[in-house]
Chain A
Amino acid sequence: MTTVANLPPAAVGSALTTYLDGSQNWVYEGANQHIYEAVFSGNWGGVDVTSASGLPVAAPGSALSSFVDGNAISISFFGTNQHLYEAVYLEGGAGST
């Protein structure tokens, strides 16, 4: 799905997390340490989560975790300062915490 979502390849050793929110979603870390998300909801799409959320880049080889909480989607990772960051998506836009 990396190709059909028009996303860059994953970094070697990237984590991979998937979740369902009506769409099917795959999340991984690219070689530039950005977090990318491929989405399939009948059509394919791709998102640079790091850019969209304004969060810092992830630590190389960061763990990744995701959950869906009502209408909110959460993607969590470690930054290069080893702080835990969460990118949050709410219907209508992206936010970060």
Chain B
Amino acid sequence: MTAVPVPHRVVARRQETGDTVTLRLEPVDTALPDFIPGQFAMVHCFGRGEIPVSVSSVQATGGLAHTIRSVGAVSDGLYAARVGDVVGIRGPYGTSWGLERARGRDVLVVAGGIGLAPLRPLILRALAEPEAYRRVNVLIGARTPDDLIGRKEIESWATAYTGVMVDQPDADWHGDVGVVTQLLGRAHFDPDTTTAFVCGPEPMIRATARELAHRGVPRDHIRVSLERNMRCATGHCGHCQLGPLLVCQAGAVVGWDLAEPLLSVREL
């Protein structure tokens, strides 16, 4: 972990959707410690600032990568980065998904929109050890078909069930239409022996986690990634405070037993 951005060169750029890219990065000089799936980095666009971005690939399996959606000044700059450009990286920060909690259990991954990117390394790790986990299910929701990332890769995953649901289909879409929670009825899992990993915008996280808890998945086995306004990422500035939590330190991945009461407080 470092307090100043460490220069990294963009070695590959993949256009995921109309406003989202995945940048694969290599250190210009000094390498950072290995990231673990679920952790995040502060990604610095020189001259603009920095934003927190979860890792969508880690050094141990294919190299460091971040998937970035253009939604503001900094992410616009990062989105525009080309192969050969240099960005700054601080990290690793935060908690991991804690995939080891799911050993011997069913694994249920629920992703909303770009939330699939931070879950990708977890899915690959779980699929690489089929003897360690029971059934792996991946449920993906997106606003439109154009908002789905990694569509070809998704088809290659050897899961017990992979479902994709969109909210607003176009004329070429022949898949499911509705909310991602509707896919829960089709996945193969025993709630009381399931560990779920949920990532997406907070309205989607809340809807999904509540449904999972209703179904009987233990709240401490529903792992969610909270999206907060992180600035320093070292627990000093307080921008990411959520109730008693500093999300950059205690999160971003936390159990639903911890997150549920905090996300139920109005205006918090």
Check if A and B associate. Answer: no
